[in-house]
Structure formats: C-alpha cells, structure tokens
Structure 1
C-alpha cells in the first residue's frame, strides 16, 4: 500500500465540509485535525476490519475512543447505520470465572486461566450512547437506542430504548420518534 494511497484515504478534499471542531487536546488533536471526519471514518472502518471486527455495510459513526476488547476481535459484529458514541466499551471476555472457580475448590491447571468469550452484535441503525458497556453475549436488535452509561447484557429486542445498570428496556424507538415529530422537539 503506497503512502500516496494512505494520504488520499486519510485526507480527501471533498470531505472538508464534514470536518468538525477538534475535541482532543495536544498531539491527538493535531492528528484528529489531519484526518477529518470522512477520512477518519474510512480509515478506522478499514482498520477495524483488518483487526477482525465484522463491520457490515456503512457505519454512521464510531468515535475514535471506543474500546474494542482485543481478546477476540472477531467476536464483535457491527451492522450498517450504527452510531457508537464516546468511550463505549465492547467486552467479549470474562476471566473472573477463573478466580470464582478456584475459590470453590477447583484446581486450575498450571499456567492456564479459565475464561469465556462470547460475541457482541450491534444491530442495524442502532445508537450506542457515551460510556455504555456491552458485556459478553450482548445482542442489540435493529433500531435500538442504548442510553449513555448503560451496562448491557443479553438480547435486546428490535426498536428498544435501553438505559441503566443493569440496562433495561424503557421504551420503543418508533413511539419515541413519533412523539419527537409531533412536539417538534428536534433541530436540523
């Protein structure tokens, strides 16, 4: 891959209109300014796919500070139209099972650590709010909203609004959107 190709991939003049204010201090901020929104998204999706994360279709946005668990990148699936906000944690592994089993008398094989890895899937057109944590085995349906700071585990039905720790369904995205349209509680 040539330097020119990477330079074009990272900085495309046609995407300057998508550039937004630099939220990062110092050197990271300078890098952010160089990448601009369109270039950053193209490069980051390419990079995440190279790691093994399954990204299906076009992603709306993945914030640069999202943490994808490196225990098994291939256990993460993100479908088309997904937005992932700041500091979201995708956790596919759990090593705490080892300590728990040792504490009840299990003799661990020397040099081995018991653990499990379960997949995480974020369904089409879903939104994951800032600092949400997606635990091993989480499957978020299509058109869902995961509230900021939520700790999510298990299967979330399509069109759900989910908040809390532990996360629970509190509403339906279609009903919520209709209400927003009705009361004109939004701007462009």
Structure 2
C-alpha cells in the first residue's frame, strides 16, 4: 500500500506549493519559501499579514495559527521562528512568538511566548526542556546517530542525555 501511495508524492508537493503561493501572494502572509506545512493546516485569514513562519520550519496537520481574538477585538502578530516543529492539532494563539529551534508537542495550546531552543507541550503549553539542539524542520540533531554511538559519546563526555 505504501509503495502505491509514494506514486502520488509529486501531487502532494504540487498542492503544498500551490497553497503556499495562495497564502503568500493572495493573503500576504509571511511564510518563508523553505517552510513546510500540511495541507490541513489552518492559518487565520482575518488578519493574514500577522502570520510569520521562519525558514525550514514544519507545521504538521490540523494546526491552527490564529492572529485575532474577536471577543476582545485583538489583532496580533503570531510568529514561528526558524527550524521549528509544530506538532499535530496544536493551536497557536494570537500574539504568541515561538523562538528559533523549538519543538511544540502535538495537541498543545500555546498561550504565551516560547523562548528559543525549547520543547513545549500541554494545554496550556509549558516548557518541558531547554537548550535543545535541532536542525532543519525541528529534527533533533542526534536523531540519526545510532544508539551505541550516542551512548559511547555520553560516556566519553560524562553526560547523561535523556532520549527525546
């Protein structure tokens, strides 16, 4: 089944590019060309110029990025930094700034600013871990290192880094 679905990756890529141009050119959203997002992401069109997504960031499926609060009459900029990953079904509220190299857990409701190089999750989102190292699209730098090699490096340096 997966093999047959791989035949349609070109179609997904085409649709994502079309949606990117729709958001940036028609609505005026500030999304970096290297940022990637799911087709089901929901970006607030009430104040579209308030959405900023940094380079090499990934926004997963069913994420809602909001820029307005109709009940209070607020219109705020919502910013996602560089090299971030926003987990599935998360909600980013108006006026929130997520720093560079952050990972936001699935289903999180981000109500306050998140500093750079952090993992945050929950409702409301709280910082779980700080000073993390991630690469493009919020991927952990040690994710591709074999377990034995990682353990040897930890013994050598005298650190005990938990698996993330």
**TM-score, shorter chain, exceeding 0.5:** yes
RMSD between aligned alpha carbons?
2.7
1:174 lines up with 2:133 in the alignment: yes
The 3-state SS of whatever aligns with 1:156 is coil
Aligned partner of 2:153 in structure 1 is: none
* Contact in 2 for aligned 1:87/1:131 (Cα 8 Å): yes
The runs of 5 or more residues in structure 1 that have no matched partner are: 1-18, 23-32, 98-114
The 3-state SS of whatever aligns with 2:116 is coil
1:121 lines up with 2:96 in the alignment: no
Separation in 2 of the partners of 1:134 and 1:126? 13
5 Å-filtered alignment, 1:30-179, equals 33=8, 36-50=11-25, 51-59=27-35, 61-97=36-72, 115-172=73-130, 173-174=132-133, 177=140
Distance 1:96 1:90, change over 3 A: same
Separation in 1 of the partners of 2:69 and 2:84? 25
The runs of 5 or more residues in structure 2 that have no matched partner are: 151-164
How many corresponding residue pairs?
139
Separation in 1 of the partners of 2:71 and 2:101? 32
* Contact in 2 for aligned 1:20/1:37 (Cα 8 Å): no
Q: Deviations over 1:89-109 (max 9, x none)?
A: 011111223xxxxxxxxxxxx
Separation in 2 of the partners of 1:94 and 1:131? 19
Aligned partner of 2:147 in structure 1 is: 183
The 3-state SS of whatever aligns with 1:155 is coil
User: Over alpha carbons, which structure has the higher Rg?
Assistant: 1
Distance 1:144 1:49, change over 3 A: same
**TM-score between both structures, scaled by the size of structure 1:** 0.66
Aligned partner of 1:29 in structure 2 is: none
Distance 1:40 1:166, change over 3 A: same
